[in-house]
Structure 1
Amino acid sequence: MKQFFATVLIAGCAHAACANGLESLESFVKTVSSGRADFSQVVTAPAREGQTPRSKTSSGTFEFSRPNRFKFIYQKPFEQSIVADGQTLWLYDADLNQVTARKQSAVLGSTPAALIAAAPDLRALQADFNLTAAPEKDGLEWVVATPKTKDGQLQTVRVGFRAGDKPAAKPAELAALEILDSFGQRSVLTFSKVEVNPSLAKDTFQFNPPKGADVIRQ
């Protein structure tokens, strides 16, 4: 199954034990204005009766420039692209040679992309998400984001950070996203080779539909 973005019950904890996740999110949003990384994504569909869950793995590269510009390039197993240029969200499927263009402001509010790349500050995130710190796991600090609107396909997003230096000479580093959608599908993205605040070319987030591609505007 091809998947651009898959749209856990969290154990409770004492505030002092969990606060670092929210601090890391705030540090990330405030101090990381651009980024570049490799990613691996595992999408697991809910198990059907009598069957084991089915998983699909993909990988590629990710870049962003805050606010509202980002690019996911899926390289394996299928070539696909998601590019947000600040006005339009472009989805390109190389196998189909098909491009879908959507108005960015209409689709990004309560999405994982808004959490990590779109919002200019924590207050903007809190307009769309309820944010709760979660216990440390796998050496990472976690935040659970639950969309305030209930009419979308997204249930929850867990964002994992590697803690920055204290005091914050080095910002928190994005390490993982765990996404659960309303259909029970789970998508886990892990990031590696993370570059914080790299200088990105001006045309990084420009997208021009390939020659001959079928362009669908929504």
Structure 2
Amino acid sequence: MPGHDTRMKTILSPTGITPTARPGTVRSLLAATVAAAALALAVPAAPARAAPAASEVARTPEVAADLARVEAYLNGIGTLRSRFLQVADDGSSVKGTFALARPGRMRIDYDPPVGNFIVADGRFVYFWDAELKQQSNAPIGSTLADFLLRPQISLSGDVTVTEVAHDGGVLEVTLAQTKDPALGRLTLVFEERPFALRKWRVLDAQGLTTEISLLSPETGVELKDEQFFFRDPTRRRERD
């Protein structure tokens, strides 16, 4: 069974995986993703500790309609490919490429000179640290990447909606993990006309915010299966 890097910890991030901060390392969001990302990797979350429950937004008919629209949109995505811009709390930024193939698969590649990447193969999420030349991994179900990668996305149960807001043609939906809301918040930002996911923001347990904006996203695109397998770059170079 793949091992885990104890330097990493799972928090509520786009992919559910965020690195322990160290100088010169790109901070995430993931994930994910969904996106997942991110963006260094995680170990499974520790057993849920006693914490105040997340305060769920009142599900008025208007809010219920908004959330149903979000669920339908996300569940309607089979594949997605996009360039992205990630901006950290300190204003530093990095670009890369995000690919999603639901259910279960995702890839985030950072542009040089960073060289880090994240890949979910349907069972595990892997993070490659180009600086340390090593990988870390975690079962998808132990990270928030699972929210975007599961076959059916639901804004209830293990995910609590804490806020829904409209502002100038934009819908923002903020989420927390139901079992451990202290891990952070994920805000999904949708353009309303046409309705589409444009960015997400992560507020982590340390109070730091990371924003990931999708640049010209494409849905329904053809993606190659092999890009969702983890391959150790050092071994590839050795074979070459």
* TM-score relative to the length of structure 2: 0.68
- Structure 2, unaligned stretches of length 5 or more? 1-24, 30-37, 40-54
Shift >6 Å, 4+ stretches: none
CA drift of 1:153 comes to 6.3
Contact preservation (8 Å) 1:128, 1:148 = yes
Q: Which residue of structure 2 aligns with residue 175 of structure 1?
A: 198
Asked if 2 retains the 8 angstrom alpha-carbon contact of 1:21 and 1:142, the reply is no
Corresponding letter in the other structure for 1:205? F
Deviation at 1:31, TM superposition (A): 1.1
CA contact (8 A) 2:140 2:146 kept: no
Whole-Å separation in 2 of the counterparts to 1:192 and 1:2: 19
- Kept in 2: contact 1:134–1:141 (CA 8 A): yes
Query: What residue ranges of structure 1 are gaps of 5+ in the alignment?
Result: 45-53, 166-171, 214-218
How many Å apart are 1:194 and its aligned residue?
Answer: 0.6
Q: Over aligned residue pairs, what C-alpha RMSD do you find?
A: 2.8
> How many residue pairs get matched?
188
Contact 1:13 1:134 (8 Å CA) reproduced:
no
Taking the TM superposition and a 5 Å limit, the aligned residue runs for 1:21-36 are: 21-36=66-81
Q: CA deviation at 1:157?
A: 1.0
Q: Percent sequence identity over matched residues? A: 23
Answer yes or no: is the 8 Å Cα contact 1:20–1:133 preserved in 2: no
Q: Is the 8 A contact 2:28 2:210 kept in 1?
A: no
User: 2:209 maps to what in 1?
Assistant: 186
Q: Output one character per residue of 1:136-188: Cα deviation in whole Å (capped at 9) or x when no partner.
A: 235321211111022x76321110112365xxxxxx42111011111101111
Read off the aligned partner of 1:56 and give its amino acid letter: S
Instruction: Give, in whole Å, the separation in 2 of the partners of 1:153 and 1:56.
Output: 25
Q: Which moved more, 1:33-42 or 1:75-84?
A: 75-84
Partner Cα separation in structure 1 for residue 208 and residue 231 of structure 2: 31
Give the AA of the match of 1:120.
Answer: P
Q: For residues 136-151 of structure 1, what are the structure 2 equivalents within 5 Å?
A: 136-150=166-180
Superposition map of 1:110-149 within 5 A: 111=144, 113-115=145-147, 117-123=148-154, 125-132=155-162, 134-149=164-179
Tell me by how many angstroms 1:92 deviates.
0.6
Normalising by structure 1, report the TM-score: 0.74
Structure with the larger RCO, 1 or 2 (CA within 8 Å, 6+ apart): 1
Name the SS for the 2:67 alignment partner. helix
